[in-house]
A and B are shown apart, each in its own frame.
Chain A
Amino acid sequence: MNVARVEIATMEPLHGGAVRRHWRVDARVDGIAQSFVLRANGLTPLGFGLELGEEFVLLRVLADETIPVPPPIAFSDDAALVGSPFHLTRLMRGSADPAAIVAAPANEDLAVALGATLAALHRIRPPRAALAFLGRAPADPAAAARARYAALLERTGEARPIAAWALRWLARHAPEPSPPVLCHGDFRTGNYLADAGRLVAILDWEFAHWGDPASDLAWFCARFWRFGQDRRAAGGIADRAVFLGAYEAAGGHPVDEVRLHYWEVMSALKWLAIALLQRDRFLRGGERNLDLALTGRRAAECEFELLRLMEDDARPA
């Protein structure tokens, strides 16, 4: 963005986003009032995911592909303003508040729009020179995911027999490798903007990677991201069939229920690993934050889901 003069009028912290910090910035750009979202690193690092500069490049690629994202404006690696590098995107209308989204009546139109958007994203395949920072696409995305989450769990330094048992299950039930596509990595209710029930933009791309398309579908449908609307399996907003049907109808990869179930188990393992790493930002990183600390106690939900998904009939009365 080439401008002659930028005057920041206000800069207000925005809530939401467990990994990064956000501010609303109201400014006058060449005398014209404009609003932006400034996104910077969290106070303590999670320890994996894209850097802000990489995420900014990804947003530009996605915008060119007409994936609905907040229009990227600028990136700065100058930590003087907010204590970390940051990028600016244009402020868009709508809310990402999951409680508000799932509190509304079931919204099939929103589920259809999300399914179609995911299908468009999954048409982006490696290699892409502009996305070289994503690394070489794995030949076996499931094996790569198992290795990634095993390594993240190892970092917690805790003995977690249910996670170990899940990794055995995932190794035994591994599907045939699927050609990798661009995956969002955290595609769920809470990470998109909706306005008056309509999709505005997909947010929070720091976990984007080359992977199995079923991983995004399973993550979106995982129970954790229904926010209490458990009967609406598609992100707490609609039936799963609506979302998956829209995905396929928009040219997404054919949905294989066995593969999807596999990635549902992987999703529970992934959330377990992330929840523990979030907790460790408090336990080890020293960030005094009740939300982060309590996230560690959500491990019990993840382990319950892992056991239920692996063998529901084994559950004792």
Chain B
Amino acid sequence: MRDPPDIDTLLELAAAGGDAELTSRCRAIAARERANGMAPYEALGAELRALPGGGDRAPDLAALTAAIVDGQFDAAPERERLVRFLWRLALQKLRENNPGFERKKI
């Protein structure tokens, strides 16, 4: 569920040199992802499988997306379950990629 490119690819690019700020961001993302491991995404996967269209055998974001497009979450209570899952997914990725974006008051 993490967005590509994967962190090894990013670190390889960073190692080739370039902008110090970008390189530093890469390393910070890598540190957070390695500290988290896959456990948060396994938990998200379990939650996803419990949603309509979330995958019969394995978590399936494509099937979930198709179910959303199909209108299967337009009404309660599926709607609330979906939104809770989407928030957890978004926050997990944001906290690895740019935690400051969440923390700043707007």
Contact = CB atoms under 8 A, between A and B. Distances in A.
B94 A301 contact: yes
B91 interface: yes
Interface in B4-22: 4-5, 9-10, 13-14, 16, 18-19, 22
B102 A290 contact: no
Nearest to B5: A293
Interface residues of A, number: 35
B98 A162 contact: no
Given A307-B83, A307-B87, A293 B68 contact: no
Contact of A162 (B71, B90, B96, B97): B90
Contact of A304 (B22, B84, B101): B101
A167 B66 CA distance: 12
Nearest to B106: A230
Given A288-B16, A300-B101, 8 more contacts: A164-B69, A165-B73, A165-B86, A168-B69, A290-B16, A297-B97, A300-B93, A301-B101
B80 A314 contact: yes
Interface residues of B, number: 44
Most buried by B among A161, A293, A297: A161
B86 A307 contact: yes
Interface of A: 159-162, 164-165, 167-168, 223, 228, 230-231, 233, 279, 282-283, 288-291, 293-294, 296-301, 303-304, 307, 311, 314-316
Interface string B71-101: 1011000001011101111110110111001
Contacts of B98: 297-298, 300-301
A291 B19 contact: yes
B65 A160 contact: yes
A160 B13 CA distance: 25
A162 B69 contact: no
Contact of B13 (A159, A162, A290, A300): A290
